Structure formats: C-alpha cells, structure tokens
Chains A and B, each alone.
Chain A
Amino acid sequence: MSGMNALLAVILYIVLAPIIGGLISGVDRKISARMQGRYGPPILQPFYDVFKLMAKQNIVVNKHQKFYILCFLIFVIITGAIFFAGGDLLLAIFALTLASVFFIVAAYSTYSPYAYIGAEREMLQIMAYEPMVILTVVGMYMVTKSFNVIDIATYDQPLLFSLPGIFLGFLFILTIKFRKSPFDISMSHHAHQEIVRGVITEFSGKELAMIEIAHWYENVFLLGIVCLFFASNPIIAIILALLTYFLEIFIDNNNSRLKWQSTLGSAWIVALILGVGNIAFLALL
C-alpha cells in the first residue's frame, strides 16, 4: 500500500473503529438480552456508558495507574494502525501483547487483592490464547509467504480453504479475547458476577472509559483478522466476521464460566491439534 493510502487507512481506523466497536458492543447486549427473553438496552447504550464514565469523579488508587491505562489504550490503537496500514501482522500481534501487559501492570499497581486475582487470571488468559495467535500468523505466512497484512489481504485465494484448522482454532481463542463465557475468567462485559469486578475492580471514571474504548478498538482489530481469512472477497469477509461475532454471543449465552485450568488446557489442546495439525499438513504438502 502506498504511503498516502496507508495514512488514510490509519486515520479512518482511528476515527471509525470506536464507533463500529461501540455499535457491535451495543448490538451484542441487545442480542444477548433477546436470547435471555429480555427487551434489552438501546443499541447506543455502550456510548451512554462511556460518556457517563467521563463525567464521573476519578478515584485514583496509585497515580501511575493512569499512565499504564493510557499506554494500554495507545498500544491497542497502534496494533490496529499497523494492521490497517497493511503492516507486519507479527508486529501488530506483539503490540497487542504489550498492551495487555500494560493492562496487567495497571491492575497490579493498585495493590488491591481483587485486582491482583484479576490480573493473575488475565495472565493465564494470555498464556491460553497466545500460542494459537502465533500459530495463526505462522499459518498465514506459510500460505502467502509474507507477514505483511497487505500481501495476505491481496492473496488471490481465500485463506480459509488452506487454513480451516487454524480458522477454527482462532475462533476458539476469540471467545477468550472477546471476554465471553465460558472463558471470561478475568472480567466480563455483561453483568456477570465475579470476584468483585476482576481485573478492572480498581478503575473508575475516565480510566474505565478508556479501557472500554480500548476494547472497542481491540474487537475491531480481531474481527479484521477474521476478515483476512476471506480477504479476496470483502463482502463475504465482513459477513464471515459478523457471523463469527454472532457465534461468540451464542456461545456466551449458552455456557457458564469454566475454571482457569479448563481454559488453559482446552486452549492449548485446540492450538496443538487444530493449529499445529494444520501447519504440519501444509508443511507436508
């Protein structure tokens, strides 16, 4: 992608991603409510929540936590910017991991026992999903011989047909990334009860709003990766991403939370069988 187009894509991403992410989150809450037989909140409810949090008093436990949360938001935005500029997919994944590390450090910096437990569970989640994320990128490289998103996106055949195992494995860890049951062990977006509020217990006001916005950016980036599996036809790719999200909502509403042992074990088994199996199959061909 030429410099000008890349810049335009990044600006579009920074402006549109929170709007799209917030709308997806609103539709998510509505569909979840309908699945439970309730009427549900308005579609714009996530925006109301964030605007309200902006107006609230900001209670800070440790003055450094604001900096860490800001870094979390910035690195999530950088992740998406690298991705939508057509840059290195591996670098984008590493930037997202760095963002998660800032999030965990922010939780640890509050010295709260509840945030500690949340942060530890968040680390377990990273351990659970990271192997499959790396295998996804490796699989895409083996087919297209490039780590650049622009080369993967313009590859002439849909990746889904050569990477079906990796796609299913990625769907599995998306449940963890979207913080959906049965794997929402560190925090959840719906009114599920946990150990107080998990990793976000000590954040209020503007910081909580920033965490929420960061998740909108992150969700758009993750759905972008789903789109890469069918990038040769953008319309089918977007339908695939929306279907994926609907499937995640469906799974969320049909499962209760599992223990962290099950999360870690099942995610690694899936990565081993579907991820490594798919890559081994490609290598042997």
Chain B
Amino acid sequence: MSEQLSKAPALPRITAAVDVFENDEHYLVRADVPGADKEHVDISFHEGKLSFEATLESDRVYTRTLGFGDDVDPDRIEASLEHGVLSLQLAKSAANKPRKIAIRA
C-alpha cells in the first residue's frame, strides 16, 4: 500500500458544496470539507477568483473556485476551519461598496 502511495496516484477531486452570504462590507463563504485539517488546506485568490483545495491524506481532495471579480479586496481575506467547515470572509473593495449620498440642503 505504501508503495502505491509513494507513486502519488491522482486523488479523487470532489467539488465542495458552498454557501455564500453577503452584507455591505463582506462576502462570507462556507464550504464543507469534512476530514480536512488546516495544514492541508490551500487557499488562493487570483484575478478575481477564489480557489481552495483541502487534501485528505491518501483519500480525496475537496476543491472549489468561485468568481468575485474586482468586487473583493485581495488583501483582506480571512479564513478559518472548524468541524470540517471552511469559512472565508472576503472584504468588498471600497469602490464597490454601496455608498450613501447625502443630499445637501
């Protein structure tokens, strides 16, 4: 078995189910990655696309890519992992936030 593993066979890639929520300030992404620990989760944001991969040792890879365009500030993305659920908070870029325009008297 260990010999097989050392040849690194391609693990089955599973599209992770996600919920996406938003408010004026943030997007919040929650993804089911049961069995994953934080040492084996890779998250990236590139050209408006959020991608993650959670690798379960010798078993499977949960992965997903979500497009946010320029609606998100790439420098302000926070991630946490609890009970096999990956949570990502993405701050909306200032330019795209709804702005209240005051009417001058």
Q: Do A and B bind each other?
A: no
Where the two chains meet, the residues of A that have a C-beta atom closer than 8 Å to any C-beta of B are: none
